[in-house]
Amino acid sequence: MRVSLRLGLILAIAAILMSTLSVSAVLTYWHAVHKVEVELQSTLSAAQRTIRVALQDIEGSPSESRQVGRLVRTFDASRHVRVELKGSDGTTLQSSTPAPVQSGMPSWFYRALAPRELTARVDWPSGTQLQQHILVTADPRNEAGEVWSDVRLHLTTILLFCLLTLAILSALLGYALSPFARFLEAFERTGKGAVGEQLPVSGPLELQSLATGFNRMSALLAETQEKNRKLDSQLEAVQEEERASLARDLHDEVGPLLFSIDVDATTIRDLAEKKSEPKFTERALSIQDAVSQVKEQVRSILWQLRPGLVLDLGLTNALENMLAPLKARHPRVQFTLDAPRKTWQPQIDIALLAIVREAVLNALKHGKPKHIAIRIGSPTGETIEAIVTNDGGARTAALNSGSLGVISMQERTKLLGGHLSIVDNLDRTGVEVRVSIPLKGSGGGAAPVAPSTQTLQ
């Protein structure tokens, strides 16, 4: 069971206080037993001395027997002893009446003390004619009652002290540990990517050191994140340059060669037709068909290498050009595009085009959709959102965050400070890919017109 630091400290302090209370109760019990024993012994000895002195004074008096009776009654209402006049046969001739117990002592406490009655016999001085003696008994009830009052007061005081101490320490711990909630919230936000936060340096020296360390770490993380963002931007620029160079090579070197092959194949076909050589004509047509397919592949590669080239006419046109060959290969899938004819920043247009293309290809590759819908817009004017939905089934393992396509989408989104989410539809019939990129106050491009909603069949 996991408990908070404050609760753990309070429980530990409560255990210490309860242990102290228990030890105090044991020591108090031992002291109470010893006190009752000592008091009874002292009281019994004092009563014996008093009776012996009195008997010596009344020895030989004509009214000796009456004076002995008065001596016994002298101990009436005594709280600690009971005096009895015994005959020669041991019968009680007269007895004092002890004082009643007034402490409200419970019976279990009296049994716990287990005090024993102490007795002492006082005989007449030598030479008396009376065959009697006095029996003095120490009564422990009132003494135990006094101990009960003392113990109750003592333990109540200790208990109140423990409760008051626990309450004060609990309040102090709550006040002392309250800044840690701020640190926990800050660490949680930092763990979610909100770096650069600075906490106020205040409170005890330990908390000041902790806040200073956190601020230094947060600033270092923010600096590192900014460096990584710049490195990603530089890497993207380098990759774009490499792609541009490769695209130029394909266009400038491979393109003319394909054109030459096509011209030569046309010449061969014309000569074969003049000389009525159908085999050569068929071969020439086959070469021309292969050249046409290679040109199509080269154009596709050029489009992937330089998507910016097709963005000159706007993002919507680029998306339509991207969907056209997919529509031809997947005639049973309905593609819906809802996007304004607007150009944002070039890097945003390129990222949206690449992300939408990856989302559409993932839907076709990992599912069996009948309808793929693409919706792009800026509802608040501060961010641009692109949503790609399909009805090809719930998410698969290939769509997890570890796949290369998803990683590429995440990297492009993160580079622009946006957010990407891939979730199941509400009816769990397909997948929704949603990307949101901040515009940062730069709209760029032409003014928007009415949204264009098209269905490509």
What's the pLDDT tens digit per position in 231-244?
A: 877 887 777 777 77
Dist CA 430 CA 428 (whole Å): 6
Dist CA 320 CA 376 (whole Å): 13
Q: What pLDDT does residue 454 have?
A: 41
> Taking Cα atoms as reference points, which of 134, 138, 139, 137 lies closest to residue 52?
134
Question: Judging by beta carbons within 10 Å of its beta carbon (0-12, 13-18, 19+), is residue 175 exposed, middle or buried?
Answer: exposed
Question: ∠12-174-9 over CA atoms, to 5°?
Answer: 10
Q: By percentage, how much of the chain surpasses pLDDT 70?
A: 86
Q: Is the pTM of this model over 0.75?
A: no
- Number of Cβ within 10 Å of residue 307's Cβ equals 20
Q: What pLDDT does residue 109 have?
A: 77
Q: By percentage, how much of the chain surpasses pLDDT 90?
A: 7
Q: Which residues contact 342 (CB under 8 A, 6 or more apart)?
A: 314, 315, 316, 445, 446, 447, 448, 449
pLDDT at 420 over 80: yes
Both tokens assigned to 278: 């159908």
Q: What pLDDT does residue 123 have?
A: 80
Question: ∠228-230-235 over CA atoms, to 5°?
Answer: 90
- Number of Cβ within 10 Å of residue 131's Cβ equals 9
Domains by residue range for the chain, with CATH: 5-97+104-168 (3.30.450), 313-456 (3.30.565.10)
Sign of the dihedral through C-alpha 421, 328, 349, 378: negative
pLDDT at 397 over 50: no
> Taking Cα atoms as reference points, which of 435, 429, 436 lies closest to residue 390?
429
pLDDT tens, residue by residue, 254-312: 777 777 887 888 888 788 878 777 887 888 888 878 878 887 777 767 666 665 555 56
Higher pLDDT, 157 or 111: 157
Q: What pLDDT does residue 446 have?
A: 37
Banded pLDDT at 439 (limits 50, 70, 90) = confident
Higher pLDDT, 404 or 98: 98
